[in-house]
């Protein structure tokens, strides 16, 4: 066996890789999933890039027009509104969710009566379909029947309906997103907190470290991995926001994703810029992920 | 961690801390479940109470009209069936392909493992909206627009990374000795996987199934892109459009929203421990 494998070393890795029955089985097991992913996700994105450089319509493939669609996209006020809404929404919601989520995680990271209740309360907003929670919140903001519209007028924050004021609509969308995903953020951070061994804190306390020193010198550095994973996932999720804006804003709140959808699915005249925006989202989302992985040093390996 | 409060300090301050903590817990739980409770209240009161100003806190005049209307509506029943088919079939396909892939990643050695993992991870970062136009064109060519197959295919792709990720975490928790023993007894890799790992991993597979099902049940973008024929639409597409079907029948919309979330809330309450362990499996090790 050993001499045989030594001889094989001389041959190509290809033979070694596919001559071994166990390794061959591994490829058989992996291949179907990979094929599905490549054919349904990666091939279309290449096709999408090609489409964005042509004057195609949804029914006919067009000719090459260079960056015309991109120029038209950047000159479209709807796109610019969608872009700024998306950036404001992403930064605000992820920041709030991170701060609140970390606070909740730190608070409930202990043994107490009613843990199960809190866990259930964490999971309820998470399990809701985003689009249905958007419908529910829209009902609560509806003029005439909505509790929040009533309270907002009573307190005097707003005189008209929240649902017809673009700024109020965006702020409300941020609130809804914070309601829906802060618990999930807390859950991920709590899981990270629970793997920090208690004796590290014990040792720090013996050495006279106060609560702030313990937080900034122990908790935060040891939690960095969990924080980066949670924040990256939430950032990319917020960045592609569609369901919430579509259903809560009833097509009056633009994001990058709703702009793409409008362009390629509703108003067929905007097919070109819509495709350009699709590629724009893909590339920028990729850059955000790259930033987290390369610059902030997020670990992506799943090896133990 | 329970003993973090210094024992030297007075018990008065400690019990005050406990009170504050429980006030916090109560507020947190209340805020989390408030929209569901409130919308439920909106769905069970009469029309006149629904439009009452100021709104009533507790329901005064009950009415089952919204619920009977929604539950008796053939279009809504069809949507529930569509959602169940989409989520159920997606879950089965994901479990089948996902468990094979996850086993290879968790247990077998091969050269391109990290490439495979990167590809799978890349999908979870992938903005789905970026491919709806190319897919719409391709699905039109294939003639599967306005069929459940279109959404099942796309949901499968985007749920697969989650399925694989969770199953890898669960498979790794199982002892290797049992498969080794099976292989010593002459079992092939596939047999060891089928006869040893799959039964042992059943709780993990079940948890993965719940999470995949919830993902597909909640999916909206693809369904809203590929399904324009109302008889093929799942609940996520039908409910936001209720306003147009019922000419702004908010009560019916409230009832429908509650109906589609209740199964999820029940699932979550029953399996909360497992779901939490599943959701955090990747994040902690990651």
Question: Which residues make up the CATH 1.10.3720.10 domain(s) of chain A?
Answer: 77-295
Residue A302, pLDDT > 70, answer no
Pair of tokens at residue A136: 């529910």
Residues of B with Cβ-Cβ distance to A201 under 8 angstroms: 4
Q: In CATH, what is the architecture of B66-285? A: Orthogonal Bundle (1.10)
Instruction: Check: CB of residue B200 under 8 Å from CB of residue B178.
Output: yes
High-pLDDT (> 90) share of chain A, %: 42
Q: Which chain A positions have a beta carbon within 8 Å of B240's beta carbon?
A: 131, 134-135, 246-247
Predicted pLDDT of residue B286: 36
Given a cut of 60, whether residue A1 has pLDDT beyond it is no
Q: Does B57 touch chain A (CB under 8 A)?
A: no
This complex has an ipTM of 0.88
Q: How far apart are CA B112 and CA B114, in angstroms?
A: 6
pLDDT in the model for residue A281: 96
pLDDT at B284: 47
- Give B153's contacts in chain A (Cβ within 8 Å): 40
Binding-face residues of B in 144-163 toward A, CB within 8 A = 153-154, 156-158, 160-161
The dihedral over CA atoms of B97, B102, B107, B109, expressed in degrees to the nearest 10, equals 80
- Residue A299 pLDDT: 66
Q: HSE, CB side, 13 Å, CA atoms: give it for residue A298.
A: 18
| Average pLDDT of span A284-299 | 84
Polymer length of chain A: 304
Instruction: Kindly indicate the confidence band of residue A265, based on its pLDDT and cuts at 50, 70 and 90.
Output: confident
Query: In 3D, which of A247, A99, A254 has the Cα closest to residue A176?
Result: A247
What is the distance between the alpha carbons of residues A40 and A43, in angstroms, rounded to a whole number?
A: 6
A58: nearest CB among B136, B164, B239: B136
Domains in chain B: boundaries: 11-63, 66-285
Q: Is B57 exposed, middle or buried (0-12, 13-18, 19+ CB in 10 A)?
A: exposed
Instruction: Mention every residue, 6+ apart, whose C-beta is less than 8 A from residue A119.
Output: B272, B273, B276
Residue of A23, A29, A197 to mutate, testing the B interface (most B Cβ within 10 Å of its Cβ): A29
Place of tokens 């018990």: B11
Per-residue pLDDT band for A11 (boundaries 50, 70, 90) equals low
Q: pLDDT tens for residues B71-117?
A: 999 999 999 999 999 999 999 999 999 999 999 998 888 888 888 88
Which neighbouring-strand residues pair with B62? B45
pLDDT on residue A81: 95
- Nearest 5°: CA angle at A32, between A29 and A36? 150
The continuous run of DSSP H or E covering B286 comes out as: none
Q: Are B56 and B44 in contact (CB under 8 A)?
A: no
Q: Is B130 helix (H, G, I), strand (E, B) or coil?
A: helix
- Under the banding of pLDDT at 50, 70 and 90, the label for residue A4 is low
> How much is the pTM?
0.89
pLDDT digits (tens, 9 = 90+) for A118-133: 888 888 898 889 999 9
Distance from the Cα of A119 to chain B's closest Cα (Å) equals 7
Report the pLDDT averaged over residues A228-249.
92
DSSP 3-state of B45: strand
Using an 8 Å CB-CB cutoff, list chain A residues near B267: 127
Structure tokens at B135: 């897919």
CATH fold, domain A77-295, is MetI-like fold (1.10.3720)
Asked if residue A187 lies in contact with residue B276, where contact means CB atoms within 8 angstroms, the answer is yes
Segment A18-43 mean pLDDT: 86
Q: What residues in B contact A151, CB-CB < 8 Å?
A: none
Considering only the beta carbons, identify the residue of B164, B276, B285 that sits closest to A119: B276
pLDDT band, residue B263 (cuts 50/70/90)? confident
Test A147 with B153 for CB contact under 8 angstroms: no
User: What are B264-285's pLDDT values in tens digits?
Assistant: 888 888 888 888 888 777 554 4
pLDDT band at residue A101, thresholds of 50, 70 and 90? Answer: very high
Task: Select from B86, B79, B53, B76 the least CA-distant residue to B255.
Answer: B76
In angstroms, the CA B223 to CA B232 distance is 9
Query: SS3 breakdown of chain B: % helix, strand, coil, rounded to 5?
Result: 80, 0, 20
Mean pLDDT of the residues in chain A: 87
């Amino acid at each position: 066996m050993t001499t045989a494998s030594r001889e094989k070393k001389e041959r190509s890795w290809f033979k070694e890789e596919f001559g071994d029955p166990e390794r061959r089985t591994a490829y058989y097991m992996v291949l179907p999933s990979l094929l599905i992913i490549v054919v349904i996700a990666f091939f279309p994105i290449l096709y999408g890039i090609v489409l964005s450089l042509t004057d195609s319509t949804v029914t006919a493939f067009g000719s090459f027009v260079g960056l015309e669609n991109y120029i038209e996209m950047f000159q479209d006020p709807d796109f610019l509104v969608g872009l700024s809404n998306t950036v404001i929404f992403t930064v605000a919601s992820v920041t709030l969710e991170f701060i609140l989520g970390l606070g909740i995680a730190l608070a409930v990271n202990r043994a107490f009566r009613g843990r199960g209740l809190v866990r259930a309360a964490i999971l309820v907003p998470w399990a809701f379909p985003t689009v249905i929670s958007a419908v529910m919140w829209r009902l609560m903001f509806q003029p005439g029947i909505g509790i929040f519209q009533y309270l907002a007028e009573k307190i005097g924050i707003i005189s008209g309906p929240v649902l017809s004021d673009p700024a109020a609509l965006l702020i409300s969308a941020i609130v809804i997103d914070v309601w829906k995903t802060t618990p999930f953020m807390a859950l991920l951070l709590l899981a990270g907190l629970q793997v920090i061994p208690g004796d590290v804190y014990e040792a720090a306390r013996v050495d006279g470290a106060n609560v702030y020193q313990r937080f900034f010198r122990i908790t935060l550095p040891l939690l960095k991995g969990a924080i980066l994973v949670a924040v990256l996932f939430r950032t990319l999720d917020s960045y592609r926001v569609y369901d919430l804006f579509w259903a809560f804003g009833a097509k009056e709140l633009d994001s990058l994703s709703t702009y793409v959808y409008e362009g390629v699915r509703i108003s067929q005249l905007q097919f070109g810029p819509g495709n350009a925006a699709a590629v724009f989202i893909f590339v920028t989302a990729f850059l955000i992920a790259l930033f987290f992985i390369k610059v902030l040093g997020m670990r992506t390996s799943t090896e133990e | 961690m329970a003993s973090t409060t210094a024992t030297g300090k007075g018990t008065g301050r400690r019990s005050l801390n406990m009170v504050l903590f429980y006030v916090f817990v109560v507020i947190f739980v209340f805020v989390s479940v408030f929209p569901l409770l409130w919308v439920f209240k909106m769905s069970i009161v009469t029309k006149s109470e629904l439009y009452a100003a100021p709104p009533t806190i507790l329901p005064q005049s009950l009415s089952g009209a919204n619920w009977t209307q929604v539950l008796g509506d053939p279009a809504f029943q069809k949507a529930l069936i569509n959602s169940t088919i989409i989520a159920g079939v997606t879950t089965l396909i994901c479990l089948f392909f996902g468990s094979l892939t996850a086993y290879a990643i968790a247990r077998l050695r091969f050269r391109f493992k990290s490439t495979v993992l990167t590809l799978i991870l890349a999908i979870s970062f992938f903005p789905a909206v970026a491919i709806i136009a190319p897919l719409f064109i391709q699905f039109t060519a294939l003639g599967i627009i306005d069929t459940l197959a279109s959404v099942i295919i796309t949901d499968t792709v985007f749920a697969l990374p989650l399925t694989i990720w969770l199953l890898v975490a669960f498979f790794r928790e199982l002892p290797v000795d049992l498969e080794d023993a099976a292989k010593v007894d002459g079992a092939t890799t596939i047999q060891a996987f089928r006869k040893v790992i799959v039964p042992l991993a059943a709780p993990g597979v079940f948890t993965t199934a719940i999470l995949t099902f919830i993902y597909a049940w909640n999916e909206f973008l693809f369904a809203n892109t590929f399904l324009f024929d109302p008889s093929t639409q799942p609940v996520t597409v039908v409910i936001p459009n209720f306003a147009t079907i019922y000419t702004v029948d908010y009560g019916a919309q409230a009832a429908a929203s509650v109906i589609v979330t209740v199964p999820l809330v029940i699932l979550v309450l029953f399996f909360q421990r497992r779901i939490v362990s599943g959701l955090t499996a990747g994040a902690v090790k990651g």
